[in-house]
Amino acid sequence: MPYDDRLASRLREVFHGRRNVVEKRMFGGLAFMVRGHMCCGVIGDELMVRVGPEEFAKAVREPHARPMDFTGRPLTGFLYVSSKGHARRQSLEKWVRRAIRFAQTLPRQ
């Protein structure tokens, strides 16, 4: 399934001007790497967000969020956010900030 180019463009706008951000095609979608670690991305029309294991329980209870189960099993610390959950720029930026915050806790690669 191709990824949503419009969502990818919106993510590029959010990341504009940030250092240490790289785009990579993965999982049939597009991932944004921060300091060498997967931070967030687009799979189909959903936003994929890596919030880490400690933030996961809180984040997954938010509207339009669900565990990322790409392989059939949930990936610890990763979420999908449906299009309703990132429709507004403010909502998208909130999710991206959470993902960046977690990525910055990981060692630089």
Residue 80 corresponds to which amino acid?
Y
Task: Read off the pLDDT of each residue in 57-70 and give the average, rounded to a whole number.
Answer: 93
Structural domains of the chain, with CATH:
5-103 (3.90.1150.30)
pLDDT tens-digit readout, 7-41:
999 999 999 999 889 999 987 899 999 999 999 99
Cα separation, 43 vs 1, in Å, equals 8
pTM of this prediction? 0.92
Predicted pLDDT of residue 1: 58
- pLDDT tens per residue across span 84-102: 999 999 999 999 999 999 9
CA angle 43, 80, 18 (to 5 degrees): 75
For every residue of 16-39, which 3-state class applies, written as one string?
A: CCCCCEEEEEECCEEEEEECCEEE
